[in-house]
Structure 1
Amino acid sequence: MKRMPLYIVTLLASMVLVACKEPPKENTPAQPDQQVQDTHQPDSQGQGDQALDTTSQSEAPVGADEDAHGCKGSAGYQWCAKTEQCERPWELSEKEGIENTEEAFAKYCGH
């Protein structure tokens, strides 16, 4: 009977340690030895590595959408002539106390 609390404490401690274990990651990439190899070979008719090239030369990289003033539209920046810098309309409206509308931004920045 005197050993019963020791068993309970040991059982509870082991349960806590097991519960603290990091769960397995679901979206982990396969290890090199586990990767499935593609056995399909493209038909080669003198094209060499060009047949394998899947990238498009006409696509611009993400973030390469600068306007004439260097403002990145994808990040929300627009040129403001009054401040002479790229501004985000919602940040400018908060900073200067103007309405957060296209019209108010255009009027403030002199568009």
Structure 2
Amino acid sequence: MKYLALILVSFTLFSCQGSDQKGTLKDSSSSLPPIGGAKDEHGCLLAAGYTWSKIKQECIRPWEGTITMNVTDTSTNFETAAFVLMDSVKQQAELFIKEEDESVLLDSIAPRLYANKQYKLVEENHCWSLIHQKEVLYEEKK
């Protein structure tokens, strides 16, 4: 009988602690930052290198599945790469470059040429170059 009473008392104590802990966790979780770090306005996890792609309409890592281009003037730049993503029908190219706060869309002007008012992306000899005001900023190396 003593063992039965001890089991009932123990069960009561532990079940009360469990419900208190759940309530505490719920209350404190609203004041904690989200797991994994800060997210941008699209929900992309910045600390993991994700950014919003206008072409794909989802969070991507720009260095995965894109064209990588190297900066041409390394003397003044700490970031040495730019990334280009093309849509599936090759009507637009999306640039991920340090010179802009968000990605930049370029429209297809001709085969192997994408442009907007500021940038021009050209493919010559199977390598891409990004030009801004007649200056080559980035080049693809093969």
- Fold conserved (TM > 0.5)? no
Give the TM-score range, shorter chain. Answer: 0.3 to 0.5
| Higher share in strand | 2
User: Which has the greater radius of gyration?
Assistant: 1
Greater relative CO, 1 or 2 (CA 8 Å, sep 6+): 2
* Length-normalised TM-score, structure 2: 0.28
* Length-normalised TM-score, structure 1: 0.35
| Higher share in helix | 1
